[in-house]
Amino acid sequence: MIYIIGALFIGLFIFLFTRESEKAKLERFKREYQISKGDMQNIDFFDVVSERLAYSLDNALQTFDTAQLNLEFRIQYPRMSQKQVNEYWRELKRYFILVAIFKKVEMFHSKVDELWHLMLKDEKNYERFCQEYIGSKIQHISHSQPTFKPTERTFLDFCYVQLFTVDKVSLRIWGKFFKEDKGKQFLDDFETLSISSLKEKYMRTQTSLEAEETFIKFHKRFIEINEANVKRWKDKYNETNDAGPAYFAYIDAGESDKEFNEVFGQDSHGNTSDSSTHSDNHDSGSSCSSCSSCSSS
- Residue 30: is its pLDDT beyond 70? yes
Q: Which of the pair, 253 or 68, is modelled with greater confidence?
A: 68
Bridge partners of 148, per DSSP, are 286
Core vs surface per residue 104-124: b (16+ CB within 10 A) or e: ebbbbbbbbbbbbbbbeebee
Q: Which of 27-36, 123-132, 202-211 has the lowest mean pLDDT?
A: 27-36
pLDDT for residue 229: 64
Whether the Cβ atoms of residue 56 and residue 135 lie closer than 8 Å to each other = no
Nearest to 152 by CA among 113, 179, 133, 130: 179
Mean pLDDT of the chain: 82
Give the tens place of pLDDT for each residue, 112-157: 999 999 999 999 999 999 999 999 999 997 655 567 899 999 999 9
Handedness of CA 46, 49, 51, 56 (dihedral sign): negative
Q: Reduce the DSSP state of residue 21 to 3 states and report it.
A: helix
- Average pLDDT, stretch 222-232? 70
* pLDDT interval class at 234 (50, 70, 90): confident
- Average pLDDT, stretch 56-65? 96
What is the pTM (predicted TM-score) of this model?
0.82
> pLDDT above 70 covers what percent of the chain?
76
Amino acid residing at 78: P
**Cα(245)–Cα(248) distance, rounded to whole angstroms?**
5
- Residue 226: is its pLDDT beyond 90? no
pLDDT for residue 292: 44
pLDDT for residue 44: 86
Nearest to 285 by CA among 171, 146, 161: 146
Contacts of 228 (CB under 8 A, 6+ apart): 248
Give the tens place of pLDDT for each residue, 245-256: 888 888 877 666
Nearest to 266 by CA among 175, 195, 205, 199: 175
- Average pLDDT, stretch 201-212? 97
pLDDT for residue 276: 34
Orientation angle between helical segments 243-252 and 150-163, nearest 10 degrees: 130
Orientation angle between helical segments 150-163 and 82-101, nearest 10 degrees: 100
Q: Which of the pair, 118 or 244, is modelled with greater confidence?
A: 118
- Residue 60: is its pLDDT beyond 60? yes
**Cα(113)–Cα(144) distance, rounded to whole angstroms?**
15
H or E element, residue 58:
helix 51-61
